[in-house]
Amino acid sequence: MTSATDPRHLPATPRLIATDLDGTLLRDDKSVSDRTIAALAAAEEAGIEVFFVTGRPARWMDVVSDHVHGHGLAICANGAAVVDLHSGGQLLKVRDLPRANALDVVTALRAAAPGTSFAVELATGIHYEPQYPPFHLDPGATVATAEKLLHEPRPGLGAPVLKLLAHHSELTPDGFLALARSATADLASVTRSSPTALLEISGLGVSKASTLALCCAERGISADEVVAFGDMPNDVEMLTWAGTSYAMGNAHPDVVAAASGRTVANNDDGVAVVIEQILTRHARARARG
């Protein structure tokens, strides 16, 4: 693995930068630093597209919506939704978790990890069980059992399920993740981005990586032309897929193992550090003709 200070690791002509938000592009206070804002604008000016690829729902994207620039697109909910931030978070593509699969996941995790509580992230908003840690940013959420939240009077009438969230108050985060993946392997994709035992469950095969690959294919961009950044297990597939990838200085060990390079921590503007180096190399290559 090479570091962000080693220019040999940088691709000569990247066409797209894909970056996670929390723990990666954002500082711990959830701000975007002036240095990072300038780096994102400079990448856009150089013709390099920037995609925000996050576990966040579209309604929590206001922190970066002013910095998405030309295309206006972001990948949200760990790949379950492609949204247009220029139109206030309109959903352009949805890769849902079928409700039958979600119900089977609930049943499997109730059996494998008693004490698990659930939240359901729909295309229209979040709802959760009484035992689930409340969402203070979503005061209008319905509180009911997961089975009731996932019930449809008739198939197809309910809003698409973007992801299921599962929380456990006693298990370790990585232990809960391993257990859930074993119990639901043929039903859904399970990952995590929280420092607590909070899992994010998407449709089978849905991930940041698979949706980013679709968006890149639509633009004729290959994996080798992508530089990706991340810090938590929900970034592993994306970092493995991208031709060049960086684990943040604060990254989970699995992310460090998956990435081809490493930059400094989010609070030290690790994404901006690499973008600046990419742009410097890009400018030198153009100067040489």
Q: What is the pLDDT of residues 11-26, one digit of tens each?
A: 567 999 999 999 999 9
**Domain end among 173, 203, 233:** 203
Identify residue 156 by its one-letter amino acid code.
G
- What is residue 72's predicted lDDT score, i.e. its pLDDT? 83
Beta strands 16-19 and 49-53 are parallel
- Looking at the structure, tell me whether residues 116 and 55 fall in a common domain: no
- Looking at the structure, tell me whether residues 107 and 69 fall in a common domain: no
- Looking at the structure, tell me whether residues 88 and 217 fall in a common domain: yes
- Looking at the structure, tell me whether residues 149 and 218 fall in a common domain: no
**Domain end among 203, 230, 246:** 203
- What is residue 279's predicted lDDT score, i.e. its pLDDT? 93
Residue 8: pLDDT over 80? no
Q: Which two tokens stand for residue 144?
A: 């009911």
How does the average pLDDT of the chain come out, rounded?
A: 92
pLDDT band at 289 (very low <50, low <70, confident <90, very high): low
pLDDT band at 282 (very low <50, low <70, confident <90, very high): confident
Instruction: Please name the residues in contact with 35: beta carbons below 8 A apart, sequence gap of 6 or more.
Output: 269, 272
**Domain end among 203, 238, 273:** 203
Which phi-psi region, left, alpha or beta, contains residue 221 (left: φ > 0; alpha: ψ -120 to 50)? beta
113: domain range? 99-203
- Looking at the structure, tell me whether residues 104 and 188 fall in a common domain: yes
- Looking at the structure, tell me whether residues 81 and 130 fall in a common domain: no
Beta strands 73-76 and 81-84 are antiparallel
Number of domains into which the chain is organized: 2
| Mean pLDDT value across residues 68-85 | 89
- What is residue 269's predicted lDDT score, i.e. its pLDDT? 98
Higher pLDDT, 140 or 105: 105
- Looking at the structure, tell me whether residues 9 and 57 fall in a common domain: yes
- Looking at the structure, tell me whether residues 223 and 80 fall in a common domain: yes
Which of 168-173's residues contact partners 24+ apart within 8 Å by CB, and which partners?
Answer: 168/113, 168/115, 168/116, 168/117, 168/197, 169/115, 169/197, 170/115, 170/197, 171/113, 171/197, 172/197, 173/197, 173/198
- Reported as type and span, the H/E element at residue 214 is helix 208-218
User: What's the CATH number where 148 sits?
Assistant: 3.30.1240.10
Name the residue among 120, 98, 207 with its Cα closest to residue 166. 120
The verdict on pTM exceeding 0.85 is yes
Partnered with residue 155 across adjacent β-strands are none
pLDDT band at 158 (very low <50, low <70, confident <90, very high): confident
- Looking at the structure, tell me whether residues 233 and 214 fall in a common domain: yes
Helix (H, G, I), strand (E, B) or coil at 276: helix
Inter-residue contact 203 to 97 (CB < 8 Å): yes
- Looking at the structure, tell me whether residues 148 and 175 fall in a common domain: yes
What are 118-129's pLDDT values in tens digits? 999 999 999 999
- What is residue 156's predicted lDDT score, i.e. its pLDDT? 76
Kindly provide the b/e burial profile for residues 216-235, where b requires at least 16 CB atoms within 10 angstroms of the residue's own CB.
beeeebebebbbbbbbbbbb
- Looking at the structure, tell me whether residues 35 and 82 fall in a common domain: yes
- Looking at the structure, tell me whether residues 26 and 160 fall in a common domain: no
